[in-house]
Chain A
Amino acid sequence: SQKIEQNSEALNIQEGKTATLTCNYTNYSPAYLQWYRQDPGRGPVFLLLIRENEKEKRKERLKVTFDTTLKQSLFHITASQPADSATYLCALDTGRRALTFGSGTRLQVQP
């Protein structure tokens, strides 16, 4: 069956360090993979999109990698700040219908 897993339910790091979140999937062939940020009580907000033929995408302090052989995406936040504390969701787009989301990783950046 199709499955999306985000590495851990929660991740705690110190301010200034790099946070690395993992998204693994099985039995999908996604055309695109997206990452969203969700703050408590609010809707997810789009951050980055990466295509199946792209290895890496960057936006300011954010970096996403996509390895279709390993069926894995890594999401990095460099020089993390307490304001980066939120839940981060990965989502797969197979090109057929709406997205399929992972359950998210809650990131807590300690000052």
Chain B
Amino acid sequence: EAQVTQNPRYLITVTGKKLTVTCSQNMNHEYMSWYRQDPGLGLRQIYYSMNVEVTDKGDVPEGYKVSRKEKRNFPLILESPSPNQTSLYFCASSTRDSTTKNIQYFGAGTRLSVL
């Protein structure tokens, strides 16, 4: 089954404690993205990757890091989480072939609370 898998689904942490949210896709997609979703603000892109070792900032990259060492994995790293990073996070993957045209396939989400 084609899917994007995020872990963990729920996470409560404290300010300053480094954490990683993992994301893996099994569709051999070149493109992967991280979004955060906040009430009234919608989905905002944090980082995206066009392929292995190629990443770029999205609209709200401050406080986040990513890496793309393998095509299937795109972890999101919060080196020193702060309460304003409390949010619902989604990983997504896509391809830009003539049929799918960058249609995003989303994971189930990770709800993060930073105390």
Whether A89 lies near B43 (C-beta < 8 A) is yes
Q: How far, in Å, is A88 (CB) from chain B's closest CB?
A: 12
Q: How far is the CA of A91 from the CA of B45 in the complex (A)?
A: 12
Question: Pick the contact of B109 from A41, A91, A102 — CB < 8 Å?
Answer: A41
Interface residues contributed by chain B, number (CB under 8 Å): 25
Chain A residues near B102 (CB-CB < 8 A): 32, 93, 98-99
Whether A46 lies near B42 (C-beta < 8 A) is no
In the complex, B56 has a CB within 8 A of chain A: yes
Interface residues contributed by chain A, number (CB under 8 Å): 23
Q: How far is the CA of A21 from the CA of B41 in the complex (A)?
A: 18
Question: Pick the contact of A46 from B33, B44, B56, B105 — CB < 8 Å?
Answer: B105
Question: What residue of chain A has the Cβ atom nearest to residue B48's Cβ?
Answer: A98
Question: What residue of chain A has the Cβ atom nearest to residue B42's Cβ?
Answer: A103
Are A101 and B43 CB-contacts (below 8 A) given A41-B109, A42-B109, A43-B109? yes
Chain B residues near A46 (CB-CB < 8 A): 103-105
Q: Known A-B contacts: A43-B4, A43-B107, A89-B43. Give 8 more (CB < 8 A).
A: A34-B104, A43-B108, A43-B109, A46-B103, A89-B42, A99-B104, A101-B42, A104-B42
**B interface, CB within 8 angstroms of A:** 4, 31, 33, 35, 40-45, 48, 56, 58, 90, 92, 94, 101-109
12 contacts between A and B (CB under 8 A): A34-B104, A41-B109, A42-B109, A43-B4, A44-B43, A44-B90, A46-B104, A46-B105, A49-B101, A49-B103, A98-B94, A103-B42
| 9 cross-chain pairs, A with B, having the tightest CB-CB distances, nearest first | A43-B106, A103-B42, A101-B43, A98-B33, A98-B48, A46-B103, A93-B102, A44-B106, A101-B42
